[in-house]
């Protein structure tokens, strides 16, 4: 009898011809009830997959990342079947799982309305109630082409799939779709589902290709899980940085400059406070700040490798009858700075920091508020060092990441080690050495990490950090990269102790990442209630009538002289309206200024959460706020 090895190392015997489900049932009745797919010898398979003799086996439930992907991808096929029932002329294209749920793109249909989504959702629920069994059929390329002869999108995909790897999944007797699987055993396993929105898209994400209509959705094994998720979406909607940014006067957008946010005065205060924090740390950590040009001849990008590997993401224009580009990143310009003078090993490490604006030619269809833009600034830095200094420099960067995210902003994070991509520069041995340096540093510093294979930059591997916000959402922000290639291309050298010239190593590093993206994330994380040190207005002084305007103004000026961002509201409004206005602006402290405050020199301090403290001496309040600002509490 074949032996099946489980993740804990235990082995069990199964009958010849047993399926993955048969083996999982022998492990636990509860596990087979929850299983959605299996992993056999490291490959994801259906539960009805027949085991190939002796093998390793792992069950996947909705609780695993792989299980969610199977669950959501299977639901996307239910969506496609429902659309085809209601819109027989539609042409299904692709329907992948995504981070939260799934989508499916369709050609040959008009834009979907909310009413359309409701009808489609009801049809999906009907398909779920029908409990249609899933069946995998493997085909030759010719058979697959005949089956999808009327769908040019599927035909394009079929011709890209290696021969012998074509498969379709049937749901019930008649509905089928091109898919590599795996799938849920039947549609009846979908406990609860919801279509969340629709949008336009393009085939293969290419604006020059056919326009499509996309439907997004999500599904769960239990209705309560769906209800919890919808509550999460409702809270996320309240925190949407685009709405809060407009409401609080932080930033704006205009159609004449897509993907290029306007940072308004209040947003600029937050922006500058974050930069001030970083500059303060740069002094402590030995960084030297530079300011570099925006526009460079293509010769720079040819030498750096960007012209070959990154050109489609660059804004290219003609200057003096030659091709130039707005810079998408700072590293090549920092190589020029390094090469502007000679260096000894005694000069290294040299840490160059840069806040200059960058431009990347993102597709207009993927632009999204502050989190996906074309024009942005990074806390970009490049460390030029000797190979033997790599470890200590990565350690220092990891300490910097912890200081910013854990100590200052109270975020948690996860690390990903992104390894060599399919298209890369340089020698394999150098890539392996660079990856080892990063992995050793993560282990040494006790940071848990996952491997993200093939997602490194074309010039080197990297550590990416996913930061979790108040709603538990992950955002990719900080990055640390080891680069042997670019300094070699630019001949960035130093004189070693042996008197000979050596090529240095460059470590690329951004802690905050894009300031624009970070500002959007902070807005949502705090729901607009920024901590005192970041709040554009820290104290609002609200006069109860015109006769106290002068006192309110003089007190606000006194606070500003102490470094507190204080504003007096002397408008002709009721005190109730002034308090409501300050609460809508989410100002941390509100001071009602009347006769009592003028006579006593004490304040009634109201917080934005509605707490009130009476008879607070002015000097004590000022010191309290100054302390909160200084400590960034």
Catalytically annotated residues: 331, 360, 378, 380, 382, 462, 508
Strands 539-543 and 589-593: parallel
Q: Which H helix or E strand runs over 178? A: strand 175-178
3-state helix/strand/coil string of 305-355: CHHHHCHHHCCEEEECCEEEEECCCCHHHHHHHHCCCCCEHHHCCEEEEEC
Q: Which H helix or E strand runs over 541? A: strand 539-543
CB 72 within 8 A of CB 97: yes
Q: Which H helix or E strand runs over 263? A: strand 262-263
Give, in degrees to the nearest 5, the angle at Cα 362 between 384 and 462: 30
CB 494 within 8 A of CB 502: yes
Q: Is 122 helix (H, G, I), strand (E, B) or coil?
A: helix
Taking each helix axis from N to C end, the angle separating 390-402 and 428-444, rounded to the nearest 10 degrees, works out to 50
As a whole number of angstroms, the distance between CA 248 and CA 265 comes to 11
DSSP line for 480-524? EEEESHHHHHHT-EEE-TTSSEEE-EEEEEEEEEEHHHHHHHHHH
As a whole number of angstroms, the distance between CA 535 and CA 270 comes to 7
């Amino acid at each position: 009898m074949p032996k099946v090895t489980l993740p804990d190392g235990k082995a069990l015997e199964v009958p010849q011809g047993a399926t993955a489900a048969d083996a999982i049932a022998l492990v636990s009745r509860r596990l087979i009830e929850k299983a959605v797919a299996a992993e056999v010898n490291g490959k994801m398979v259906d539960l009805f997959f027949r085991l190939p003799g002796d093998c390793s086996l792992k069950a996947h439930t909705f609780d695993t990342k792989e299980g969610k992907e199977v669950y959501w991808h299977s639901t996307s096929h239910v969506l496609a079947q429902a659309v085809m029932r209601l819109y027989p002329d539609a042409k299904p294209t692709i329907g992948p799982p995504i981070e939260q749920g799934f989508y499916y793109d369709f050609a040959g249909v008009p834009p979907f309305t909310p009413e359309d989504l409701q009808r489609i959702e009801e049809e999906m629920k009907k398909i779920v109630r029908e409990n249609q069994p899933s069946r995998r059929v493997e085909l030759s390329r010719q058979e697959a082409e005949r089956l999808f002869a009327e769908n040019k999108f599927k035909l394009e995909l079929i011709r890209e799939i290696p021969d012998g790897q074509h498969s379709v999944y049937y749901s019930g007797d008649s509905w089928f779709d091109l898919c590599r699987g795996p799938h849920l055993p039947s549609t009846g396993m979908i406990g609860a589902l919801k279509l969340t929105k629709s949008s336009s898209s393009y085939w293969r994400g290419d604006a020059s290709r056919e326009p499509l209509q996309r439907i997004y959705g999500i599904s769960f094994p239990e209705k309560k899980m769906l209800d919890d998720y919808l509550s999460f979406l409702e809270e996320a909607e309240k925190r949407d940085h685009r709405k809060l940014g407009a409401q609080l006067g932080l930033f704006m957008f205009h159609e004449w400059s897509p993907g290029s946010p306007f940072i308004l005065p209040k947003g600029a205060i937050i922006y500058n406070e974050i930069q001030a924090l970083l500059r303060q740390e740069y002094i402590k950590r030995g960084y030297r700040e530079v300011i570099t040009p925006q526009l460079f001849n293509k010769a720079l990008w040819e030498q750096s490798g960007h012209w070959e590997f990154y050109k489609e993401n660059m804004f290219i224009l003609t200057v003096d009858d030659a091709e130039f580009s707005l810079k998408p990143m700072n590293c090549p310009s920092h190589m020029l700075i390094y090469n502007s003078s000679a260096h000894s090993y005694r000069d290294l490490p040299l840490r160059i920091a840069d806040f200059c604006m960058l431009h990347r030619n993102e597709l207009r269809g993927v632009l999204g508020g502050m989190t996906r833009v074309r024009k942005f600034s990074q806390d970009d830095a490049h460390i030029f060092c000797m190979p033997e200094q790599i470890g200590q420099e990565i350690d220092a960067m990891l300490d910097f990441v912890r200081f910013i995210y854990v100590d200052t902003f109270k975020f948690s994070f996860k690390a990903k080690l992104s390894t060599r991509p399919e298209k890369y520069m340089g020698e394999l041995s150098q890539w392996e050495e660079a990856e080892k340096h990063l992995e050793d540093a993560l282990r040494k510093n006790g940071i848990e990490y996952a491997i993200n294979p093939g997602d490194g930059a074309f010039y080197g591997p990297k550590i990416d950090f996913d930061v979790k916000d108040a709603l538990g959402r992950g955002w990719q922000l900080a990055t640390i990269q080891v680069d042997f290639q670019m300094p070699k291309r630019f001949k960035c050298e130093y004189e070693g102790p042996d008197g000979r010239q050596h090529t240095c190593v460059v470590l690329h590093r951004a802690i905050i990442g894009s300031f624009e993206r970070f500002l959007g994330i902070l807005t949502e994380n705090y729901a607009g209630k920024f901590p005192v040190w970041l709040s554009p207005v820290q104290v609002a002084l609200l006069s109860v009538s015109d006769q106290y305007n002068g006192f309110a103004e003089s007190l606000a000026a006194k606070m500003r002289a102490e470094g507190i961002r204080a504003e007096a509201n002397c408008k002709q409004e009721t005190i109730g309206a002034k308090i409501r206005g300050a609460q809508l602006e989410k100002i941390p402290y509100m001071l009602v200024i009347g006769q009592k405050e003028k006579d006593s020199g004490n304040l009634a301090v109201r917080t934005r959460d509605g707490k009130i403290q009476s008879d607070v001496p002015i000097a004590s309040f000022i010191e309290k706020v100054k302390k909160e600002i200084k400590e960034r509490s």
